[in-house]
C-alpha cells in the first residue's frame, strides 16, 4: 500500500493453464482491479463474499480489498485485467467507482460485452506500444469502460454457495464486524463448529490467506481509515482496531505499509 496515492496503470491479458487454480500471490493491493473474463469459469472471493464469474462477466476489486480468484482445473480460462488508481482515472470518476465497488460483479449484455472487450483490447494495445500520449489514451478508454459498466443492470447475487463457502463468507463477515474484539483461529473454529485444523484449511482454500493474517489485514485496514480521518492517538487507534498494544500495532503497520502509523498520518496531512 502507498500512503499518498499516485497515478498507476497496468493492463494485461492472461491465460490460466489447466493445472492452475489461482495465479495471485498478493491478495491485497493499493490499486483497483478490473477483471473481464473472456472465457472459462472463475470462483472469486472479494471482500467477504464468493461469486461465480462466467464468460462475459466483470469482477471489480476495490483497492485494499482481500481477494482470490480460483479456476477450474479442467478448462483454460482467459481474462483481461486493468490495475489502476483513482488518481489515474480522475477524482470525478470516484462516484462511479463506488457504484462498481458496491456491485463487484457484473454480467454484461451481449452488445455491451463486445463493446467493452474492444475497449479493453484497445487499451492493452496502447499500453503495450507506449506511443506518444498512450497513457492519456488509456485514461480515455478506461473512462469509457467505467461509464459503460455503470450503465449495466445489476447482476442478481448467485445463491449456489456450498456449505464450506458459506462458512468462510460468514466467518470473514464476522471478522469485518468484530475485528476490535479478541479473535483467534480457535474462536472462529468453535463459532462455526469446526476443528481448528479443518477451519484453517477451509478458510485458506477460499480466501488464499490464513485466518490470523486475514484478521491482521482487516485490523490494519480499519486503522488506515482512522488515520486518514485523523481520529485519535496512535495508541487509541491501535486499541480500537483490536491490537493489544501500540508497539505491536506500529510494527505490523510498518511491515505492511513501509512506514509507521505516525508517518502515514503526517503524510496524509501534507496531502
Q: Is residue 259 located within the same domain as residue 192?
A: yes
Q: What is the pLDDT of residue 122?
A: 96
**pTM score, whole prediction:** 0.76
Q: What DSSP state is assigned to residue 39? A: E
Parent domain of 71: 9-150
* Residue 155 confidence (pLDDT): 57
Taking alpha carbons only, the member of 78, 79, 76, 39 closest to residue 61 is 79
The answer to whether residues 44 and 138 belong to one domain is yes
Query: What's the average pLDDT block by block, 10 residues per block, for the chain (271 residues)?
Result: 66 74 54 90 83 86 85 79 94 93 83 92 95 96 95 63 86 94 94 95 88 92 87 89 93 90 80 53
Q: What is the pLDDT, as a whole number, of residue 199?
A: 95
Provide the pLDDT for residue 75.
73
pLDDT of residue 190: 95
Place of cell 482512522: 226
> How far, in Å, CA of 253 to CA of 260, rounded?
6
Task: Work out how many domains the chain is built from and give that number.
Answer: 2
C-alpha to C-alpha distance for 84 and 33, rounded to whole angstroms:
7
User: Measured in whole angstroms, how far is the alpha carbon of residue 225 from the centre of its chain?
Assistant: 16
Does residue 3 fall inside a structural domain? no
What whole-number distance in Å separates Cα of residue 215 and Cα of residue 79?
A: 30
Q: Locate cell 488464499: which residue? A: 208
**Do 195 and 79 fall into the same domain?**
no
Q: Is the dihedral of CA 51, 53, 59, 63 positive or negative?
A: positive
Does residue 235 belong to any structural domain of this protein?
yes
Q: How far apart, in whole angstroms, are the C-alpha atoms of residue 249 and residue 189?
A: 25
Answer whether residue 30 is part of any domain.
yes
Q: What is the DSSP letter of 157?
A: P
- Are 198 and 118 part of one and the same domain? no
- The cell for 75 is 478448462
Amino acid at each position: 500500500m502507498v500512503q499518498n496515492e499516485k497515478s498507476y496503470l497496468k493492463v494485461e491479458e492472461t491465460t490460466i493453464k489447466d493445472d492452475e487454480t489461482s495465479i495471485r500471490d498478493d491478495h491485497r493491493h493499493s490499486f483497483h482491479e478490473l477483471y473481464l473474463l473472456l472465457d472459462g469459469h472463475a470462483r472469486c472471493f472479494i471482500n467477504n463474499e464468493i461469486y461465480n464469474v462466467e464468460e462475459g462477466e466483470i469482477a471489480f476489486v476495490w483497492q485494499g480489498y482481500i481477494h482470490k480468484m480460483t479456476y477450474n482445473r479442467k478448462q483454460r480460462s482467459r481474462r483481461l485485467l486493468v490495475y489502476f488508481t483513482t488518481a489515474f482515472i480522475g477524482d470525478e470518476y470516484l462516484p462511479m467507482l463506488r457504484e462498481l465497488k458496491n456491485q463487484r460483479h457484473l454480467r454484461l449484455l451481449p452488445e455491451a460485452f463486445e463493446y467493452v472487450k474492444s475497449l479493453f483490447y484497445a487499451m492493452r494495445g496502447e499500453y503495450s506500444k507506449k506511443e506518444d500520449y498512450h497513457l492519456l489514451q488509456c485514461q480515455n478508454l478506461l473512462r469509457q469502460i467505467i461509464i459503460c459498466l455503470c450503465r449495466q443492470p445489476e447482476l442478481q447475487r448467485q445463491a449456489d454457495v456450498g456449505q464450506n463457502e458459506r462458512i468462510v463468507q460468514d466467518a470473514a463477515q464476522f471478522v469485518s464486524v468484530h475485528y476490535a474484539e479478541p479473535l483467534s483461529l480457535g474462536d472462529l473454529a468453535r463459532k462455526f463448529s469446526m476443528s481448528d485444523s479443518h477451519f484453517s484449511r477451509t478458510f485458506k482454500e477460499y480466501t488464499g490467506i490464513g485466518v490470523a493474517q486475514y484478521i491482521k489485514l482487516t485490523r490494519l485496514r480499519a486503522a488506515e481509515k482512522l488515520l486518514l480521518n485523523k481520529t485519535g492517538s496512535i495508541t487509541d487507534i491501535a486499541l480500537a482496531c483490536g491490537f493489544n498494544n501500540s508497539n505491536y500495532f506500529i510494527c505490523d503497520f510498518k511491515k505492511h505499509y513501509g512506514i509507521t502509523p505516525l508517518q502515514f498520518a503526517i503524510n496524509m496531512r501534507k496531502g
